DNA sequence: AGTACTTAGTATCTATTGGATACTCTCGGT
DNA sequence: ACCGAGAGTATCCAATAGATACTAAGTACT
């Protein structure tokens, strides 16, 4: 068992790729939407307001490939597809939720800072 | 004092813009680099390996505008410019560090998941 | 006087990513 | 034969990121 094999400040370290995936535009919102269980494609589209189907598909495929989300197809008519977090994906809920909570609780401060900044320019 | 005025799942909520700023490609790395104090432009470039000066400037300007980073110019020759976190920026260290730590400690799992996934395709 | 040196950036051009909108596919019901 | 539902693709255009080269200001050197 090694310690600290990864360092995000190193541009060639794989952990940087990982950081940029979980910090991408939609991943935090999708993971948050799935925190209470499974959702279908169309439910995810609504839960994550504003995402287009193309980008939702792309992001889900990447999350699946990275082992964070599991995709299950039910051979019904019409077809039903369910998405849910894997154990690895669930382990990401805590950290991402901290960032989400920060964003919600400090959004006001940032809007204020922008107004102040724009006023000086 | 209101509670929960912001919700990142709402596409029109300003907190979503904030989330996407702090979750952008370089912000977490820059904030992490500044955690121990001030750095000059050229030091930041080295600390955050792989960033081009254009993008570093863009990101720093945005962070400054949003009140997370303070920029100080010293009229020396050659000019010296120092960047440091504001109090608001420092409040972001905890949440972002949780995500960074997750990325470093789970990068191995994700690489494994990718290999497994690619093997099935 | 001219030139080199340092730091902190711009400028320019190209490649990649994201977004808007419309279309496809399957199959069962009417 | 035609329509509807769900889960996506296809296509095209705009915005963002990256590579590379260049600029500005002032002092020190020759």
Predicted confidence (pLDDT) per residue in A74-107, tens digit: 988 899 999 999 999 999 999 999 999 999 999 9
Q: How confident is the model at residue B105 (pLDDT cuts 50, 70, 90)?
A: very high
Per-residue HEC secondary structure of B88-113 comes to HHHCCHHHHHHHHHHHHHHHHHHHHH
A8 vs B contacts (CB less than 8 Å): 28-29, 32, 100, 103-104
Identify all chain A residues contacting B60, using CB atoms and an 8 Å cutoff. none
Q: Is the CB of A72 under 7 A from strand D?
A: no
B35 CA to chain A: closest CA distance, Å?
13
Angle at A88 between CA B28 and CA A66, to 5 degrees: 75
CA of B78 to C1' of C5 (A): 10
DSSP string over B33-56: HTTTS-EEHHHHHHHSTT--HHHH
Q: How far is the CA of A22 from the C1' of C17 (A)?
A: 16
Segment-wise mean pLDDT, segments of 10 residues, chain A, 121 residues: 79 92 92 97 96 97 96 93 98 96 95 91 68
Distance of alpha carbon B73 from alpha carbon A111, whole angstroms: 25
pLDDT score recorded for residue A23: 85
A55 touches chain B (CB under 8 A): no
Nucleotides of C under 7 A from a protein CB: 5-12, 18-22, 26-28
The kind and range of the H/E element at B69 are strand B69-74
Selecting from A19, A66, A95 the residue whose C-beta is nearest the C-beta of B113 gives: A66
Would you say B45 and B51 are in contact if contact means Cβ atoms under 8 Å apart? yes
CA-CA distance, B80 to B82, in Å (whole number)?
7
Could you tell me the strand order of the sheet in which B39-40 lies?
B39-40, B80-85, B69-74
């Amino acid at each position: 068992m090694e310690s600290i094999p990864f360092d995000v400040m190193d541009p060639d370290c794989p952990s940087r790729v990982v950081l940029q995936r979980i910090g991408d535009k939609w991943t935090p919102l999708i993971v948050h939407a799935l925190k209470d269980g499974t959702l279908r494609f169309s439910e995810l589209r609504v839960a994550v307001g504003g995402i287009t189907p193309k980008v939702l598909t792309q992001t889900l495929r990447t999350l699946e490939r990275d082992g964070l989300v599991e995709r299950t197809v039910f051979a019904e008519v019409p077809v039903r597809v369910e998405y849910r977090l894997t154990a690895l994906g669930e382990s990401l809920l805590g950290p991402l939720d901290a960032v989400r909570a920060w964003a919600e609780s400090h959004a006001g401060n940032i809007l204020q800072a922008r107004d102040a900044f724009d006023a000086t320019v």
